[in-house]
Amino acid sequence: MSGNCTHLYQARVLQTDKTYCEDCMKRGDSWVHLRLCLTCGYVGCCDSSPNRHASGHYLATGHPLVRSIEPGENWIWCYRDEVMAGVVQA
């Protein structure tokens, strides 16, 4: 599973201990799934969540890559190319 993404070399952060969306926590909101920014380690909520903080982080920073940090999921999504860019190797 890999698309035409040229940003994978920018990935610096592949793992995190965070288990919550920081921006939702501040507001007292809830989220559905969590995404990790592979550029800076920001954890935000997915597009199925009311606040879509992961997308918002991309729009604000231009950091293109996120991975799912849901249990058992290791896929990488590129916002800029709108493709599954690959998977995180364990």
Q: Which residues bind Zn ion (CB under 5 A)?
A: 5, 7, 21, 23-24, 31, 37, 39-40, 42, 45, 51, 53, 63, 78, 80-81
Q: Beta-carbon neighbour count of residue 15 at 10 Å?
A: 10
Nearer to Zn ion, 62 or 73 (CB): 62
CB 55, min distance to Zn ion, A = 10
CB 50, min distance to Zn ion, A = 8
What's the rounded Cα separation, in Å, for the pair 67 and 74?
Answer: 6
CB 72, min distance to Zn ion, A = 21
Q: Is 2 exposed, middle or buried (0-12, 13-18, 19+ CB in 10 A)?
A: exposed
